[in-house]
Chain A
Amino acid sequence: MNTNTAQDLQKQETQLPQRAERQRPRPYAAPRVDVYETKDAYQVVADVPGVSESSLEITVEKDTLTIEAPVEPTRREHRLRLAESVGGGFLRTFALPDGIDRDRISATVRSGVLRLTLPKSETMRPRKIVVQPGA
């Protein structure tokens, strides 16, 4: 069932996009995601702990959707003894399947969980063709 689009949406190798403004590479991690598809839209749910609305950047360029969310590492007077989270933030890119209504992509972030809705264009939704009785 719809395996092509499933593959389209699969994770590409996470690499830093080539951007001139980046000063130094951050220790980004790829966020864990759930992706599911309803008849109207794709939903991407990503765990981005420590990320707020203001620090999140979602870009669509050609056929690539990029989620980028830098997290400023917490600085403390204390000594860091155990660091399982590098804390640089999150970055992941997805290849967009055909038929996404790019103007209506929406996103919310709450309690460190990003929810992206990628609505399907009208033309890509399943449509029932009524067969007219022959004359």
Chain B
Amino acid sequence: MTLTHFTHPFGRNPWREFGRMQAEVERLFDHARARHNDSYAPGFPAVNLWTSEDEVVITAELPGIDPDKIDIAVLDDTVTLSGTRASEDVPEGAVIHHRERGFGEFSRSFRVPFRIDASGVDARYQHGVLEVKLPKAAEDRPRKVPVLTA
């Protein structure tokens, strides 16, 4: 997939396109999730997404998860965050008054408007927040072409 995919002939905002594709990806995953009868509302983890010329940064709220058990998969222009969150270990005989915290499997995919340099992806987990940096692949970066004199 190339950048041309996002450049609409009528000059539409590529990020509007991003939003539409995001909805599409979410819809597909919601469908998959529905079959698993997962306890999560769609949209776990809550995510913020930033962009610059050269990278996309995603932060995901994943409290209480072993960072080794978070799976980050990159394919072309799509990143998928998935994993499992264990339910609270309630001692036997305890009375449960509230159970609002979700548990079970989660998976969310995001499509960015460039191919991702998979080898350059950087992920950190601190205070229950996962931060993933997705650099733009070299092929999709603007390149200066030197003009040779004949």
Contact present for A81 and B101 (CB under 8 Å): no
A10: chain B residues at CB < 8 Å are 97-98
The B38-73 residues at the A interface (CB cut-off 8 A) are: 43, 46-52, 55, 57, 59, 61-65
Chain B window 11-46, contacts with chain A (Cβ cutoff 8 Å), 1 for yes, 0 for no = 000010010001000000000000000000001001
- A111→B95 contact, CB < 8 A: no
Is the Cβ of A78 less than 8 Å from the Cβ of B50? Answer: yes
Given known contacts A34-B101, A49-B127, is B64 in contact with A113 (CB within 8 Å)?
yes
Residue of A nearest to B53 (CB): A78
Q: Which residue of A lies closest to B103 (CB)?
A: A34
Interchain CB contact (< 8 A) of A85 among B46, B50, B96, B98: B46
For the side of the interface on A, what is the size category? Answer: 35 or more
| Interface membership of chain A positions 30-66, coded 1 if the CB is closer than 8 angstroms to chain B and 0 otherwise | 0011111111001101111111100000000000000
Least CB distance from B105 to A in Å reads 17
Q: What separation, in Å, do the CA atoms of A60 and B99 have in the docked complex?
A: 23
Distance in angstroms between the alpha carbons of A1 and B93 in the assembled complex: 12
Give the distance in Å from the alpha carbon of A2 to the alpha carbon of B95 in the complex. Answer: 9
Complex Cα distance, B85 from A49, in Å, reads: 14
- Contact between chains at A78 and B47 (CB < 8 Å): no
With A34-B100, A35-B96, A38-B93: A80-B48 Cβ-Cβ less than 8 Å: yes
Closest B residue, CB atoms, query A8 = B97
- With an 8 A cutoff between CB atoms, is A107 at the interface? no
**Alpha-carbon separation in the docked complex, A74 to B127 (Å):** 13
Residue numbers in B under 8 Å from A80 (CB-CB): 48-50
Expressed in whole angstroms, the minimum distance between the Cβ of A45 and any Cβ of chain B is: 6
The 8 tightest CB contacts between A and B, nearest first, are A112-B128, A112-B63, A78-B50, A113-B64, A49-B128, A49-B61, A82-B49, A35-B98
Subset of 17 A-B contacts with CB under 8 Å:
A6-B95, A34-B90, A34-B96, A35-B98, A38-B91, A39-B93, A43-B94, A49-B61, A49-B129, A81-B49, A82-B22, A82-B49, A84-B46, A85-B46, A85-B48, A112-B129, A113-B128
By a beta-carbon cutoff of 8 Å, the part of chain B in contact with chain A is 15, 18, 22, 43, 46-52, 55, 57, 59, 61-65, 88, 90-91, 93-102, 125, 127-129
* Residue positions of A touching B, CB distance < 8 A: 1-2, 6, 9-11, 32-39, 42-43, 45-52, 74, 76-85, 87, 110-113
